[in-house]
Amino acid sequence: MKAILFHRHGGPEVLEYADFPSPEPGPGEVLIKLEAAALNRMDLWVRNGWPGLKLEYPHIPGADGAGTIAALGEGVTDRAVGDRVVINSNLGCGHCEFCLAGQDNRCQNWHLLGETVRGTYAEYVAVPARQVYPLPDDADPHMAAAAALVFHTAWHSLITRGNLRPGESVLIVGASGGVNTASIQIAKYAGATVYVVGSSPEKLALADLMGADYLIDRSAEPNWAKTVYRMTNKRGVDVVVDNVGTTFPLSFRAARKGGRILTVGNTGGPKFEIDNRFVFAKHLSIIGSTMGTLADFAAVMELVLAGKLKVALDRAFPLKDARAAQERLESGQQLGKITLSIEER
Ligand SMILES: [Zn+2]
């Protein structure tokens, strides 16, 4: 098969478009002929590498993908060759105490497709059959692939962990990243009022298009916590979605007493200082999570495929141009998700 692979960590130049043997579906797995893959920031981190990350080279990046089942591994009876599917990249082992309790994103032997196992920048990928969700015949594979990881992550954080309720107010720190864009849609669907703080008018325009109620331009209002405080009549918001991390000091100020700070990442860097006085004096809860469960994936993909949650798509590149696609993601110029066309039906 054709695939994008790399033999060492580095910049976009380490990516090669090359031939690589197609994977074989093992017991309980399905082989998927991919139509589309979607890029995530994680792809760049894996390519760059970090201390302790051990990959089997050559590595194939990519967590997100949608396509058609091309072959079944031993023992798979609930899927059929020809079924169109979208992949849930959160790979639990299926048999530890957490997987058995339906908390597969807390699995003791957890993997993410494209991170520690070969991923979706390829014509074929093999995954456990439980990792695929059915895709209607008329569904756009780019939309489905682009939705999967970010909507799954945002749903688990806001709904399952964050317990977001109708009538609550949510502040989202960052206007254009995939998880943040999905969070706007999910918070609106849940009946919340949504505030978004963004770095530029273009990015805020996307947040507006996704349904945000109040837009705050960080370049004009660097102390946006004060702005939120003023906009909420000195109450603060019920929930802050902060996947930047270094912005926690401002998020603590913007939250109401008893507010929840939800975090699934740290695009601003992993380490920063916090002022603990805010945490106890304001009764704050900091709620972390990563990815989501099988049940979350089914719940959120049903809404995406029914058109109740909109997916912002930036641009699609042919598989062979994955390097240009990653360069665009790295530049931060994209508005919405970047995808790869692998094969059109
Ligand atoms: Zn497990």
Contact assessment for residue 105 and residue 82, using Cβ atoms and an 8 Å cutoff: no
Residue 250 has pLDDT above 90, yes or no: yes
pLDDT at residue 59, as a whole number: 98
Read off φ and ψ for residue 18, nearest 5 degrees. Answer: -150, 170
The conformation of residue 293, written as its DSSP 8-state character, comes to -
Mean pLDDT score, 181-189: 97
Look at residue 24 and tell me whether its pLDDT is greater than 70.
yes
Distance from the alpha carbon of residue 77 to the mean position of ligand 1, in angstroms:
22
Q: Is the pLDDT of residue 345 over 60?
A: no
Distance separating alpha carbons of residues 286 and 268, to the nearest angstrom: 17
Compute, in angstroms, the gap from residue 88 CA to the centroid of ligand 1: 15
pLDDT in tens, 88-145: 999 999 999 999 999 999 999 999 999 999 999 999 999 999 999 999 999 999 999 9
Q: How far is the CA of 102 from the centre of ligand 1 (A)?
A: 9
Q: How far is the CA of 178 from the centre of ligand 1 (A)?
A: 27
Centre of ligand 1 from the C-alpha of residue 291, in Å: 14
- What pLDDT was estimated at residue 175? 86
Residue 344: the pLDDT is 59
CA–centroid distance, residue 130 to ligand 1 (Å): 13
In the predicted model, what is the mean pLDDT of residues 35-46?
A: 97
Q: What pTM did the predictor assign?
A: 0.96
Q: What distance in Å separates the CA atoms of residue 317 and residue 34, rounded to the nearest whole number?
A: 14
Distance 101 CA to ligand 1 centre (A): 9
Mean pLDDT of 60-82: 98
Average pLDDT over residues 194-216: 94
**96 C-alpha to center of ligand 1: Å?**
4
Residue 74 three-state SS: coil
Instruction: For residue 183, report the distance from its CA to the centre of ligand 1, in Å.
Output: 27
Angle between helices 201-209 and 178-189 (to 10 degrees): 40
Mean per-residue pLDDT, 145-158 = 98
Tell me the CA–centroid distance for residue 104 and ligand 1, in Å: 6
**Distance, CA 91 to ligand 1 centroid (Å)?**
8
